[in-house]
Structure 1
Amino acid sequence: MHEMIAHRHRFQHLLAGVEGRPAIPTAIAHPCDEAAVAAAVEAAEEGLIAPIFVGPLAKMHAAAERAGVELAPYRVVDAPHSHAAAAQAVALVKSGQARLLMKGSLHTDELMHAVCADGGLRTDRRLSHVFLLDVPRYARLLLVTDAAINIAPTLMQKRDIVQNAIDLAHIVGVARPKVAVLSAVETITPALPSTVDAAALCKMAERGQITGGVVDGPLAFDNAVSALAAHEKGIVSEVAGAADILVVPDLESGNMLAKQLTFLADAEAAGVVMGAQVPIILTSRADTLRARIVSCAIAVLIAQAAKRPAAATTAVT
C-alpha cells in the first residue's frame, strides 16, 4: 500500500499568489445560471476579476436573483442569445476592455467558435485545455491535457498541447516540468499510434521543437505516477514516477482520467485554456464554486505573467 500523502492545499498556494494584485477585467459569456453568476461575483469579491457580464439581461438578472447576488456593482452588456454573447465577449477582449474570457452557461463549442472565428483570439499556437489537479495521494500538482478541446489531436497539435502545458507549469511555479506522454504500454507499438506519437514528441523535445521541460513516453499511467511501478517494469526515466504533466492520447481518455481523479480520488480540479491571445476560463456545470475560483486565479496568474518579464516563482509542490 502507498502511504497516504498529506493534502498540502496546493490550490491555496496559488490563491495566495494573486492576493493583493489588481483585479483583471473579465468578459463572461452568457452567465445565465446560478453557478456561473455566483462564481463570477465570488471571484470579484475575492479581488481576482472585474467581471463584465455579457448575455440576455433578463436571464442574467434572474440567475443572479436565484443565486442571491447583485449585478448592480458590475458592468452588464446585453446580448440576445448565447451565440451573440460569445461574440460580444470576444469583442470586448479584442478591444482591450477585458483581459480574460470566461465561459458562462453556454456550450463550450459555442464559445470556442467565437474564439476561433476570423478576427477572434487565435494565435499561431493550437488551443488546448489543461486541468490542474491537487490529488491527495500524489506528491505534486498534476496537470492533465487535453481533456476538453482537441478530440483526436495530430502529432503537431500534440506538440502545441505539450508546449502549452509546459508554459502553464512554469507560470504556476514548476521550473522544469516532467512531461509523461501516456499510452497503454511503454514500448513503441505501431498498432497503437499514440506510442509512435509519444516517441516523436520525445525526439521533438530533444531537438528543441518543445522547450522548457523534460518529455518521456510512451508511458502507461501507473509508470508515469508511481516510481515503484516504473521500477518493476525496469523503466529508467527522469519522468517515470514523478510526472508533473500527463499528456493523454485523445479527449476521451483525458476527460475520463481527470474526472476519475476528481470523483474517485478526491482530487480538486481547476482548468484553463491555453494558446489563445488571453487565458480562457472554461468551467463545467459540475464544477464546485472553489474549482471555478481557482480556475479564475490561474487565469489571473497567466495574464499577470504576460505583463511582466520572466522571473523566478515559488514552486507548487
Structure 2
Amino acid sequence: MKRIGVLTSGGDAPGMNAAIRAVVRKGIYHGLELYGIKYGFQGLMEGNIEKMEIGSVGDIIQRGGTALFSARSEEFKTDEGQQKAIEQLEKFGIEGLVVIGGDGSFRGAEALTKKGFPCIGIPATIDNDITGTDFTIGFDTALNTVIEAIDKIRDTATSHERTYIIEVMGRDAGDLALWAGLAGGAESIIIPEKKEDFQDIIDRLKRGHERGKKHSIILLAEGVGSGFDYGEKIEKETKLETRVTVLGYIQRGGSPSATDRVLASRLGGRAIELLMDGKAGRMVGIENNRLVDYAFNDIFNGSNTIHDEMYRLSKELSI
C-alpha cells in the first residue's frame, strides 16, 4: 500500500485535527503518500482530494473542528454514490482510507470495505457512544466545556436561589450528562439509559430546600426530552423558581484538551499501522489505556452501556 486517504465525516469533534495530523505524519514517516479528502463522503464522490505533505498539517493539533471540513451525504448511502466514490479513489491511486467520525461514518466505511476498498475507522464524537472504545475523540473536551458552564451557572443559581436545568448533547447516550453531572456536583442526572423516577427528583429538590440549600443543578441529556418541559413540570411541583440552559453547539467547539490530543494521535497512528498490516473494515479504539481494534460489524452489533457505578455514586452524593 503506497497511497492512503483520510476524511472526516458527520458531526465535528475537538481532536479531529490531531487525528488528521497523526494519520498524515505517521504515513509519511513510513514512506506513504497521504491524500486529504474534503467534505467527507460528499467530497469523496466529487473528487475533492489533494495530496498532503508534512506542512499540510502544521499548527492544527490545537485547533477545534476539522481542517478537512465535514458534510453529510444521502447520495453516498446508495450503490451509485459508493461506486462514484470508489472511482475517485481509483483515479487518485488511493489504496486505503482512514475515516474519522461516528457510527454513520463507519457504516459508510463498511460499505466501501465490502466493495473491496479497505477502510479503517477512528471514533470521533463528543457523545462517547461508540462500542469498542472507552473514549471517543472530543468527549473529554466537551465534558470540560460542560463543567465550565455548570460552574458559572452555579454562581448565578446561588445568587438568586434558583433551580437550574442544564441540557447537554448526547442523543441516545448519557455519558456527557453523567460525567459532567458527577464532576459538577449535580443534584440529579437524567439520562436515556436510566429510568429516573420524576417524583424522586422532586423529593430530592424539596429535601434540599428544607435543609436550607440555596440552589440546585440538574443535568439533562437531550435524548430524554426538552429541558424546558422538565423545567415547567419541576417548577409546578416544587414551587421553586426554575431556569433552563441549553448548551447546544458550544459543546462541539473549542481547542481540544490534552487528553483528546493524545488520544487522537494514538488512534491516528494505529490506523495507519492497521492498513499497512493489510487490515480492513475495522475501528481502532482504546480500552484500559491500551489500543484495540474491532470489526465494524462488532461495533454495529454492540450496545453502548452506561457506567452503573458512576450513576449510583452520583445519586448517593446528591442526598
Q: TM-score, normalised by structure 1?
A: 0.29
**Greater share of residues in helix:** 2
Q: Point out the structure with max Rg over C-alpha.
A: 2
Q: TM-score, normalised by structure 2?
A: 0.29
